[in-house]
Chains A and B, each alone.
Chain A
Amino acid sequence: MIEINQAGFYTSVQDLGRKSWRHLGVGLSGAMDPVALSVANLMLGNAIDAAGLEVTMGHACVTFHTDTEIALSGATVEATLDGRPLPNWWALSVRAGQQLRLGTVNAGVRSYLAFRGGLAVPSVMGSASTDLKGGYGGMQGRALKNGDMLDLCPMPALTRRNTGFGLPVMQRAPYAHQGDRADQTTPDGETVVPLVHILPAAQWPDLTPAAQQQLVNATWQVSPQSNRVGCRLEGPTLPMQRRHEMRSHGIMPGVVQLPPAGLPIVQLCDGNTSGGYPVIATVIEADLHMFAQLRPGTPVRFALCDIAYAAAITTRHQKFLDDIALRCELTRRRFH
């Protein structure tokens, strides 16, 4: 069992989401950064979709009431275990009574804390994820509060404690935008602007040619109104050459909608299952997790791609996760 001593700004139980229920109006939910949660789970030998904690902007504290093993991934956060500094992208055994504290986040937004075996919460429509709007999943369908207790799935004890290991491979992870990488050769004073790849969608042809150019040429800024539902972008307003009344239609996470005001919104994990705004583009699946780590005010750019490119990047991501899975499995032989 674990106890939430400090829930922070917004901490919730998430896995990889609730799939194939959109026809009932049930959205995906799930980890905003599925790559980070998957890697944390792989480090512990879990299934990649085991339930863990998503912590928003650090400043959270958890006490372990049983011996277990944990992994920390995602944002670059100042973390301590019983006061001693703990690296990010790190897995280790912890004893009952120990306390993990997340402090200031130096890059990114969301941290993931995975537990060996995963958090034991009831499965709702095939997922442990918290759906705040639906009011189900995770801890009674709500964000975690101070004092909440969560069970862990029972697991056999390790034959040898994990004294801690990290993933140097994460230096090559798709987190270039976080700007915290030792091997990064960015000139001084220049920030890395994350580049998000998009595919044209139904109303792409309805944008004026100038607006199509602006979408990919402009440097957009993440609006403070962004959250798990969607990322609102600030920048030039995009005119459409024709605007017709849209009937409500199904939408996926990653669609780039253009409300009448002309500023795009990217729908994310907690986004609606249907909408009526024009859909001008969709963010490719392999780039969608970037939005999990973009703070308000962060610049972001779009680049058009085609389906072959999107598929190639997805294959590369899958290979990246497969490599990590293998590396973790080899490392974990020491403990089993």
Chain B
Amino acid sequence: MTHPAAKPICSRQGEYAILCDLGIPTSSTADLTVQQKVWGMSACLSARDDVLEVVPGMNNLLVIFRSIQHDFDACQAFIHDAWETAGASASPGRQIIVPVVYGGQNGEDLGLVARHAGLTARDYIDLHAQGTYVVYALGSQPGFAYLGGLDPRLAVPRRDVPRPRVEAGSVIVGGSQAAILSRTTPCGWHIIGRTTLNCFDHTQERPALFTPGDTVRFEIQEVLP
């Protein structure tokens, strides 16, 4: 396998962790092909005895070791080795259907984002629900999935001032990303609907609903006036 890109950039993040950035330097969005490589490397590096865990990010990964790593060059060498040998993750992931009640009190920003996109609310919903999204990584809050695949026409800048409290299950868009809020928290993204699906159940053996590599489709359950 050949890689046209330069080797990923590694940097220390404290005594125990190394951040490895695979992203295209000139782009601020995450690339799916690069992300598949991130998943492949994560699987490969997680299997090492000296690695506590690997946290995939958006076209990057944080490798957390069990003990203090004195030799940065040695770590960088085997991370580069994993980059060269690990295949892009072949696992197709599961497909998860997310039923959504769009609009009304469940999606108070729907009118605003539709106007921004120059679409009717119904067209905005249809485009949102027609898309196939990919779970790139989890982070920020328990079970929160960073989704790629939002139709560029639906992109909308985040709110200037975050709302202090947005309900868990809110279906949101911010910038070029789509997501589902897994916990009730402050949030600066726009709310277009609500799902009853629980993204994170700490009582389950696999507490997070989503896994990186899963595909997600939104299903229109109802549209509130």
Give A contacts to B, CB under 8 Å: 19-26, 124-125, 131, 133-137, 199-202, 244-252, 254-255, 272-275, 279, 282-285, 307-308, 310-311, 314
C-alpha spacing A246/B141, complex, angstroms:
18
Min C-beta distance of B142 to chain A, whole Å:
5
Instruction: Report how far A272 CA is from B62 CA in the complex, Å.
Output: 14
Q: Which residues from chain A contact B183 at a C-beta distance below 8 Å?
A: 133-135
Measured CA separation A20–B42 after assembly (Å): 14
Residue with the highest number of chain B CB atoms closer than 10 Å, among A201, A249, A282: A249
**Closest residue to B55 on the A side, CB-wise?**
A250
Asked if B36 CB lies within 8 Å of chain A CBs, one says no
B147-177 contacts to A (CB < 8 Å): none
Instruction: Write the nearest CB–CB distance from A139 to chain B, whole angstroms.
Output: 14
Please name the residue on chain A nearest to B10 by beta carbon: A202
Contacts of A248 in B (CB 8 A): 57-58, 137, 139-140, 146
* Chain A residues with CB under 8 A of B185: 133
Q: Is the CB of B202 within 8 A of A124?
A: yes
Stretch of B12-20, B82-90, B98-106, B125-133 with 4 or more beta carbons under 8 angstroms from chain A: B12-20
Chain A residues with Cβ under 8 A from B118's Cβ? none
Q: Which residue of B lies closest to A27 (CB)?
A: B142
Enumerate chain B interface residues (CB-CB to A < 8 A): 11-17, 19, 21, 23, 25, 28-30, 42, 52-62, 64, 68-70, 72, 137-144, 146, 182-183, 185, 200, 202, 207-208
CB contact between B139 and one of A252, A273, A308, A310 (< 8 Å): that residue: A273
**Among A22, A131, A245, A246, residue most surrounded by chain B Cβ atoms (within 10 Å):** A22
Closest to A281 in B: B14
Q: Note all chain B residues with C-beta closer than 8 A to A284.
A: 14-15
Q: Which of A252, A308, A314 contacts B62 (CB 8 A)?
A: A252
- Counting from the closest, the 3 A-B pairs by CB-CB distance are A250-B62, A274-B139, A250-B55
Across the interface, name the chain B residue whose C-beta is closest to A141: B202
Neighbouring B residues of A246 by C-beta, 8 Å? 28
Shortest C-beta distance, A273 to chain B (Å), equals 5
Q: Which residues of B contact A250 (CB under 8 A)?
A: 17, 19, 55-57, 60-62, 64, 139
B142 and A274 within 8 A (CB): no
Report the minimum CB–CB distance from B61 to chain A (whole Å): 7
| Contact call B202/A125, Cβ cutoff below 8 A | yes
List 24 interface pairs A-B (beta carbons < 8 Å), by A numbering. Answer: A21-B53, A24-B207, A25-B182, A26-B142, A26-B207, A133-B185, A134-B183, A199-B12, A202-B13, A247-B28, A247-B29, A247-B58, A249-B21, A250-B17, A251-B62, A252-B14, A279-B13, A284-B14, A285-B14, A285-B16, A307-B70, A310-B68, A311-B15, A314-B68
Bound-state CA distance A244–B61 (Å) is 18
The listed residue with most B CB atoms (<10 A of its CB), out of A19, A202, A244, A310, is: A202
Complex: A21 Cα to B54 Cα, angstroms: 9
Bound CA span A307–B12, Å: 10
Contact status of A134 and B141, CB under 8 A, knowing A252-B14, A274-B57, A284-B14: yes
* A20 and B13 in contact, given A26-B142, A311-B68 (Cβ under 8 angstroms): no
Residue of A nearest to B66 (CB): A20
Minimum CB–CB distance for B126 against chain A, Å:
28
New A-B contacts (10) at CB < 8 Å, excluding given A247-B23, A250-B139: A21-B53, A22-B55, A24-B207, A25-B142, A202-B11, A244-B25, A247-B28, A247-B30, A248-B139, A307-B72
Distance in angstroms between the alpha carbons of A23 and B38 in the assembled complex:
13
Report the bound CA distance from A310 to B183 in whole Å. 36
**Residues on the B chain within 8 Å of A247, using CB:** 23, 28-30, 57-60
B58 touching A310, Cβ below 8 Å: no
> How far in angstroms is the closest Cβ of chain B from A331?
31
CA gap between A308 and B142 in the complex, in Å: 34
B11 to chain A, nearest CB (A): 4
In Å, the complex CA distance between A273 and B142 comes to 9
Residues of the B chain whose Cβ atoms lie less than 8 Å from the Cβ of A307: 12, 15, 68-70, 72
**B144 engages A25 (CB within 8 Å):** yes
Q: Which residues of B lie under 8 Å from residue A135 when comparing CB positions?
A: 183
Q: A199 contacts B53, CB within 8 Å?
A: no
Shortest Cβ gap from A20 to chain B (Å): 4
Output the least CB separation between A78 and chain B (Å). Answer: 35
Q: Chain B contacts of A283 at CB under 8 A?
A: 14
CB of A285, distance to nearest CB on chain B (Å): 6
A241 to chain B, nearest CB (A): 16
Shortest distance in angstroms between B152's beta carbon and chain A's nearest beta carbon? 17
B57, B137, B144 — most chain A CB neighbours (10 Å): B57
